[in-house]
Amino acid sequence: MSFVLYLVGVLVVLGGLIYGAYLMNVPQQWIVVGAVVVAGLGILSGVAHTRSRDKPQ
């Protein structure tokens, strides 16, 4: 899979979580903290799954 596909998936999940937290009246500071954590995990996961391995010499 491509890195862009992972990012799109993370953005969709992130948008849903933010909207759900907003509807539950979660304080804005915690919504931002959660968004940063989910975005970071999504980027780390995307890089780990899409990077190419180095060939042995």
What pLDDT is attached to residue 1? 66
Predicted pLDDT of residue 3 = 83
Give the domain extent around 29: 3-49
Task: Return per-residue pLDDT of the chain as tens, 57 residues.
Answer: 688 888 899 999 999 999 999 999 999 999 999 999 999 999 898 888 887 776 777
Do the domain assignments include residue 55?
no
The answer to whether residue 29 is domain-embedded is yes
8 Å CB contact between 36 and 19: no
| Number of domains comprising the chain | 1
The answer to whether residue 10 is domain-embedded is yes
Closest CA to 22 of 45, 12, 30: 30
Identify whether the C-beta of residue 24 lies closer than 8 Å to the C-beta of residue 41: no
54 lies in a domain? no
57 within some domain:
no
Start-end of H helices in 1-57: 3-23, 28-50
Longest Cα separation, the chain? 56
